[in-house]
Structure 1
Amino acid sequence: MKATMTLIPLAVSLLMAGSAMAKVSAAEAEKLGKELTCVGAEKAGTKDGVPEFTGKWLGTPPGVQYTPHVGQHPVDPYASEKPVLTITAENQAQYASKLSDGQKALFAKFPKTFRMEVYPGHRDFRYPDSVCEVAKKNALNAEISDGGLGIAGASIGAIPFPIPKTGQEALMNNMFPNRAFNEDKTTDFANVLSDGAISWGRQRNTNLGMVGLPSEVGKPLEGTMAYSKTATLLPEREKGGVTVSSEPINFAKGKRLAWSYDPGTRRVRQVPEYGFDQPLGGSGGKMTIDSDRLFNGSPERYNWKLLGKREMYIPANAYKLHGKNVKYADLLKPGVPNADFIRWELHRVWAVEGTLKDGYRHLYGKRVLFLDEDNGMAVMSDMYDARGSLWQYALLNYYYAFDTSAWQAGTAFYFDLNSGGYIAYNLFQERPTGPILNKGNLNPSMYTPEAARNAGN
């Protein structure tokens, strides 16, 4: 299935890999905070329904009862709203220019059960002033370096390229957004087979984002990006396994390192290679390690092209989905999740295409990422196999976390368009607490091989 797009015209300057990408001019940077938001999104709405950016709320909105940093489930400030449009298999042709190939494929495969409930659009949340200051500084100084594997001249605290000119720049925004610097969460994931049967997994993740630490804001973007620890709680046969990993900022100067504790042998070993298209444990092959957050890790295996900006229906303001009263039995249905819980809105996104380089191996021969212009993060992805056939479609439901004054990755769905099954990933609706964000209790000493051994015992 070939990708078809109606793109908003964009002049894209592509330079040879290995050379630095041009910075924006001072005149362009002056648009930030004026006709553009401080992170580069267009403030204006559109006649078709993209909402105007208001940025009226920073942190918890007025009238919302919320206690930060304790894992309270998200509270929906739009709970009283109703859908204004329902897109179905019968009428989806009317909205084809605003749908991805993956969405169209779901309509074709599940014409009776897949539908999109479209709600009034909102762009009401903003970043703190400190993020805006760094974003403008990055616009003037940041450059792609080391053949697309690093960034020079950028500072910690905001996306490096508020006005992206190339696919590599847009991709780096997805990898280095402003988000939680501490994350402690216990989540479930469900491998939902085509007949509705479910295999369950559960993990506890503690993540330390070095590029989000308040003490590092404004400093050069270099060194370690993040540390992560994953402890397996389910299934029972894998319970007790622990993996710790570290991620570099520049993949030309470092690589992702990981150590794994095996409860059977009670030993820790370094994982020879961690990332790329290795299957994510418990996903039944429906997820790769580098498809978490739709793309992560080294970008080295793909040529990245900026296709342009377009209006699309994307999951947005996903508070309803993550409410503490949502039950898995109500949400997880055969084929596709219950459409009543997914909120779609019309937004502008950057479309970025990654095509596998000659001589490199990966399960995905091509992947197209759709990045929300308001935060630079990938919210949807179409993934193609080595023959160029559409294989998977994934969507990630973000919500603005009041604890962090930034967008938080919530539950994601990864659809295998061949088998008809899907993965529901990062579920915490039935957990006693949601993600505990920015509590400030994590440090690098918690991510050593010895720490993995101690966590497994």
Structure 2
Amino acid sequence: MNSRNLLKPLVATLLIANSAAVMAKVSPEDVAKLGNELTCTGAIAAANAEGTIPAYTGKWLGTPPGIEYTPHVGQHPVDPYAGEKPQFAITGKNWQDYADKLTEGQKAMFKRYPDTFTMPVYEGRRDFRYPDKICDVFKRNAADAELIDEGFGFTGYKGAPPFPIPDADQPMQVLANHNFPFRAHTYRTIRDVADVGPSGRISWGRQNNKGFNITNAPDEIGKPMGGIMAYGMTKTELPARNKGSATASSEPVNFARGTRLAWNYNPGTRRVRQLPEYGFDTPLASTSGKLTIDSDRLMNGSPERYEWSLGGKKEIYIPANAYKIHTKDVKYDDLLQAGHANPEFMRYELRRVWVLEGTLKDDYRHKYGRRTMYIDEDTWHGVVADYYDTRGELMQHAYINYYYAFDMNAWQAGSSFYHDLTSGAYVGYNLFNERKVGPVLNEGNFTKEMFTPAALRRQSH
């Protein structure tokens, strides 16, 4: 065990001893705004002054009228906006006209690929809503949730982000919202990973994943927050040299009082061993080091290595209602091209986002010296991120294509793209277009015993 792990019990003890709330609770008057001038998630319900961001309608819960969809079996997403066309496109020639609504990483993409990188901008749509029981948890959390243990944990209730009305001086509240969205309580998927070189040559990876999100389980909704957040298991199918390798992990709710634990099965030795450390900037399998474990979903795991700050709320063009890119008719040969994915399959909308930035602490190491995340106010999911090296140079631009999954009445992280701005290579992550079955969400019947070292050993034979 390294010295960092030896110190963890002492650090946790000190944090628990000083776990007073770091902010006052939201006033009853502000809580009453949820579901009125604010949506139940805390987003501004009204349109912006220019009308380029629409008012929230929330007219659809689950599958929209006229859409044929069978939930919980892995049917590929069906686009309710299939007939829409872009209003305009941001290109290498006109991007400076929209610079105030672009991230630094997006600007860098236009500079590097002026002839091919474009952002097709569609009319904004805010038509989907969460179930009433989840909106009720949002409201309870707004009234009662507080940060504890210097922001590493929080009080409140399971099922919804804890701070729908965050304090502008409390960046850890926004990070907690990103880390604890309402999402599928069970999932299993086979994801393809395309490591695309500067010339367009692709090295393929494939992973068989399943997970059990305890804080979103139906019988846990509304209960006090605590314990284990989630269990996961990943088995590698490609590349062939790593075939059969598998990892099981568990994630705590509060990193001051718990630790991410992981075990790995090695098919060469046929043994299961506990990993001494899992997360942070450990390279993510099948990505040639272009992704770190903690850059999946842009940021995950313990926040301890960074000082976090909020840059307020801004209007930014981000991927949204990303159905088109996930349909089964999209072929990888058409989607994956040199430099970046084919813009033809993208959908951008102007959205209000929270700007959350993490700066590496002096006494910690990480590949990323700074990470800037853009978190959608409607969903609390981080959608775009720009990553900087330890010299302060912009090195990577990433984004996730989210869509509202009818299986779970919430937003699902679909394909994501991580662009190395130095080499021109990129990774297409969590692709499933050419799999016969897409993500199977909320089929249920998962238990924590399915994610133990013993279960890892059994499933790897």
State the partner residue of 1:140.
143
The 3-state SS of whatever aligns with 2:39 is: coil
Aligned to 1:435: 439
Partner of 2:417: 413
Partner residue of 1:181 out of 177, 182, 185: 185
Tell me the amino acid that sits aligned with residue 44 of structure 1: A
- In structure 1, the residue matched to 2:359 is 355
Q: What is the CA deviation profile of residues 79-98 of structure 1, one whole-angstrom value per residue up to 9, with x for unaligned ones? A: 00000011001100110010
Question: Which residue pairs with 1:31 in the alignment?
Answer: 33
Separation (CA, whole Å) in 1 of partners of 2:66 and 2:21: 51
- Written as runs of structure 1 = structure 2, the 5 A alignment for 1:285-364 is 285-364=289-368
Corresponding pairs, count: 441
Rounded Cα–Cα distance in structure 2 between residues aligned with 1:310 and 1:18: 31
Q: 1:107 aligns with which of 110, 123, 130?
A: 110
Residue 119 of structure 1: aligned partner: 122
What pairs with 1:219-258 in structure 2 (closer than 5 Å)?
A: 219-258=223-262
How has the CA–CA distance of structure 1 residues 142 and 445 changed in structure 2, closer, same or farther, with 3 Å as cutoff?
same
Residues 360-375 of structure 1 correspond to what in structure 2 (within 5 A)?
360-375=364-379
Residue type of the alignment partner of 2:79: D
Aligned residue identity for 1:333: Q
What are the superposed Cα offsets for residues 405-437 of structure 1, whole Å, 9 maximum, x if unpaired?
A: 000000000000001000000000000010000
Give me the whole-angstrom Cα distance separating, in 1, the residues matched to 2:453 and 2:406.
Answer: 33
Contact 2:374 2:382 in 1 (8 A): yes
- Which residue does the alignment assign to 1:76? 79
8 Å CA contact 2:248, 2:452 repeated in 1: yes
Cα deviation per residue 1:280-315 (whole Å; 9 max; x = unaligned)?
011111100000000000011111111100111000
Alignment deviations for residues 52-96 of structure 1 (CA, whole Å, 9 cap, x no partner): 110000000000000000000000000000000110011001100
Q: Give the corresponding residue for 1:54.
A: 57
Tell me the CA shift for residue 19 of structure 1.
5.3
Instruction: Work out the CA distance in 1 between the residues paired with 2:289 and 2:351.
Output: 31
CA distance 1:255–1:359, shift in 2 (3 Å): same
Q: CA RMSD in A?
A: 1.1
Structure 1 counterpart of 2:43: 41
For 1:409 and 1:160, locate their aligned partners in 2 and report how far apart those are by CA, in whole Å.
20
Aligned to 2:201: 197
CA distance in 1, matches of 2:321, 2:145: 30
CA contact (8 A) 2:21 2:146 kept: no
- d(CA) in 2 for partners of 1:18, 1:48: 42
Answer whether contact 1:171 1:352 (CA < 8 A) is retained.
Answer: yes
Aligned to 2:215: 211
Q: 2:268 aligns with which of 253, 264, 280?
A: 264
CA shift for structure 1 position 357: 1.4
- 1:148–1:300: 8 Å Cα contact kept in structure 2? no
> Does structure 2 retain, via aligned residues, the 8 Å contact 1:369–1:380?
yes
Whether the 8 Å CA contact 1:110–1:335 is kept in 2: the answer is yes
Structure 2 residue aligned with 1:7:
none
Deviation of 1:48 after TM superposition, in Å, equals 5.0
Q: What's the offset of the Cα at 1:164?
A: 1.1
Displacement of 1:21 in angstroms is 2.6
Q: Is the 8 A contact 1:242 1:455 kept in 2?
A: no
Partner of 1:86: 89
Post-superposition CA distance 1:181-234 (Å, at most 9, x none): 000101100000001111100011001000000100110110000000001111
Match of 2:407 in 1: 403
Give the partner amino acid of 2:376: D
* Distance in 2 separating the partners of 1:427 and 1:301: 30
Indicate conservation of the 8 Å contact 2:120/2:347, yes or no: yes
1:370, 1:235 → 2: CA distance? 32
Deviation at 1:148, TM superposition (A): 1.5
- Whether 2:389 is the aligned partner of 1:382: answer no
Task: Please tell me the residue identity of whatever aligns with 1:181.
Answer: H
Structure 1 equivalent of residue 12 of structure 2? none
1:257-277: CA deviation from partner (whole Å, max 9, x where unpaired): 000000000000001000001
Partner Cα separation in structure 2 for residue 411 and residue 307 of structure 1: 27
Distance 1:89 1:35 in 2: 38
Distance of 2:228 and 2:73 partners within structure 1: 27
CA contact (8 A) 1:21 1:145 kept: no
8 Å contact from structure 1 (residues 51, 347) kept in 2: no
Native 8 Å contact 1:18 1:148 kept in 2 = no
How many Å separate the matches in 1 of 2:95 and 2:157?
43
- TM-score, normalization by structure 2: 0.95
| Aligned pairs (5 A) from 1:12-27 | 20-27=22-29
Aligned residues of 1:399 and 1:408 also touching (Cα < 8 A): yes
**AA partner of residue 32 (structure 1):** L
Q: Which residue of 2 aligns with 1:5?
A: none
Q: Give the secondary structure class of the aligned counterpart of 2:219.
A: helix
- Per the TM alignment, residue 28 of structure 1 is displaced from its structure 2 partner at its CA by 1.0
What is the SS of the residue equivalent to 1:131?
A: helix
Which of 158, 161, 179 is 2:160 aligned to?
158
Long gaps (5+) in structure 2 = 1-17
Q: Following TM superposition, by how much is the alpha carbon of 1:22 offset from its aligned partner in structure 2, in angstroms?
A: 2.5
Identity %: 58
Question: Offset of 1:18 from its aligned partner?
Answer: 7.5
Hey, what's the Cα distance between the residues in 2 that align with 1:287 and 1:299?
A: 17
Q: Which runs of 4+ in 1 moved over 3 A?
A: 16-19
Corresponding residue for residue 426 of structure 2: 422
